[in-house]
Amino acid sequence: MSAVIISSLLFLSACTVQEVSEFLEVTDDVLTAIEQEQGETDSASEEEPVNGSTNLLKSKGTMEPIPAKLVRPVDGDTAVFAFDADADGKEEEYSARFLLIDTPETRHPQLGKQPLGNEAKERTEELLASGSITLEFDVGQRLDKYDRILVYVYVDGKSVQEILLEEGLARVAYVYPPNTRYLDEFEAKESIAKKKEIGVWAMDGYVTERGFNSN
């Protein structure tokens, strides 16, 4: 750093007063331009939409349920919904993962199609087509590593997650605090299916801590 300062002083000492003045003006202009460019970049970064939204998906905490429309079901615990995320009057599509549950796979690169995977998907599709859909966020993160929104899903005010759990088509899973608002309720519904030994609980050893045993 000192070498740079000395070199600059030597350079300036060899210049006329006018040349020094012009040099300082150019340097000041360059620094100003850099600062302005950096400021515009920072501003753009702050305002860059996340999955199409500038507000809802960046905010945290509780909020009112969001009316949504079903675009297409993916499997028992995943679907694509359309809703107005930033109150601009325009609906956008979002891939959604249902919080706190896991259903058998209908297709998977390693696991393939698992028992009751199609049944879980068909039941979810049936539920989502039966009434008005609302989505609810928890207080923690709102996107998973695949950029899917993490939500509780309701049809006419009834929890889709709780129905799937009570009918034995899902297990309680992916419990990551603080997104655990309805964990107790979900575990209670799961215990009903366990006691009845229905759905995924009808097959010995099918449900594991890591998912479902396809072997």
Neighbouring-strand partners of residue 159: 154
The catalytic residue among 105, 119, 162, 167 is: 105
Contact 95, 147 (CB under 8 A): yes
SS3 of residue 23 by DSSP: helix
- Please indicate whether residue 148 is annotated as part of the active site: yes
One of 123, 142, 148, 171 is an active-site residue; which one? 148
In 3-state terms, what secondary structure has residue 114? Answer: coil
Torsions phi, psi for 199 (to 5 deg) = 60, -130
Alpha carbon separation from 160 to 12, 23, 136 (Å, rounded) = 74, 69, 12
Contact between 89 and 152 under an 8 Å Cβ cutoff? The reply is no
Q: Which sequence positions are flagged as catalytic?
A: 97, 105, 148
